[in-house]
Amino acid sequence: MGLDLGLERAGIEVVLACEYDKFCRGTIQANRPNLPLLGDIWQYSTSEIRQAAGLTPRDEIDLVIGGPPCQAFSTAGGRKGFKDERGNVLLKFIEVILELRPHYAVIENVRGLLSAALSHRPHSERGGDNPSLLAEELPGGALLHVLKCLRGNGYGVSFNLYNAANFGSPQVRERVVLICDRGGNKAPYLTPTHSADGSFGLPPWRSFREATQGLESIEHHYVRFPEERLRFYRMLGPGQNWRNLPKHLHHEALGNAYFAGGGKTGFMRRIAWDKPTPTLVTHPAMPATDLAHPEEDRPLSIEEYKRIQEFPEDWVVVGSLVEQYRQIGNAVPVSLGMAIGRELFANLRERKKPSMEFAGFPYSRYKGTDDVSWERFVRGTLKAKAAEQLGLEFR
């Protein structure tokens, strides 16, 4: 309920929630026992959704917001796109939006949505003697399909890849956020409250030290590193990782992963005190995605996870330690939810124009992820591929 808590802090009343996972449902019910809660979204008609929310068929809905399961689009997953059952939950969510016709709809998802194909071809079937990729197999096709559905039903859509650290979260976590306006207007991008270096007249990003202040004397609950990994951690200081070990220990510390590609920055990783944390993962003691305390020889605790994701101190998380990590790690930072709520409120009161104050602001670590730049590039790529397949010269 990171999104929900952020919306509430912005002044938006949440009247209905929908969650399939039994542990997440338990957490919602423990903290919001009076909030109506639906289960599997596939099991409800829009009239039943209205009824559960206490709305009549004529009541206007201000906002429908959610983050449909995103594993199908994750760069770490199978990238099956819309052929994956979980990918189709996104289409079901859009179907619900178009039937309920809220003033605004917000869709949150992982960065992988920007590059997901409408139809994914396994990498083992690419290149060499395999046929060239079809237009529907090119990156970006899935999101183009989503935009076509929404725009074809009168919604104006703006989106960007947003780093939660730019909105006050003590965490570098990037998520795609689509804001859909039933009036056909394109909403401005979210208004940042922080910047990496204090530029744009904003305070600098919040740090792990700032976020966890006051937790020094409480009891922490956490999973444990195996002893063979702790041996290496005892050689590392705040903000360091395996690369800071003596070179003759690199292979021993990483094992076979030493020969893998990429930067491997998630191995043997201690959090820095004076920077935001990396993206919280669903288990902080997995070898490739370690999230260790800056100085103590342990992973980040549940209490530190809650602070970083900005949940209240008394927020109850149901389930085992592993289940608690998974739920908190999968959540949307509360600050990002609040930034979305503030932008929607501003648009509901008075039609906002894009602010020149933040022109050129780096919303994420990547370039070309705003809707204008992204769509120009993707459509150009698809047009070139279509021309190539038709044997035409593309200009």
Q: Which residues are catalytic?
A: 70
- Residue 325 tokens read as 């990590």
> What is the phi/psi pair of residue 181, to 5°?
-115, 120
What interhelical angle do 22-31 and 321-330 show, nearest 10? 80
Distance CA 154, CA 157 (A): 10
Distances (CA, A) of 120 to 123, 133, 141, 313: 9, 10, 10, 42
Distance CA 157, CA 180 (A): 5
Q: What is the DSSP string of 338-354?
A: HHHHHHHHHHHHSPPPP
Q: Is 236 helix (H, G, I), strand (E, B) or coil?
A: coil
Closest by Cα among 132, 138, 121 to 79: 121
- Residue whose structure tokens are 């996104």: 90
Helices then strands, counting H and E runs in the chain, come out as 12, 6
Distance CA 8, CA 19 (A): 18
* Contacts within 8 Å (CB) and 24+ apart, 228-233: 229/268, 229/287, 229/290, 230/297, 232/268, 233/268, 233/270, 233/292, 233/297
Distance CA 159, CA 106 (A): 10
Contact between 293 and 225 (Cβ < 8 Å): no
Length, in residues, of the chain = 395
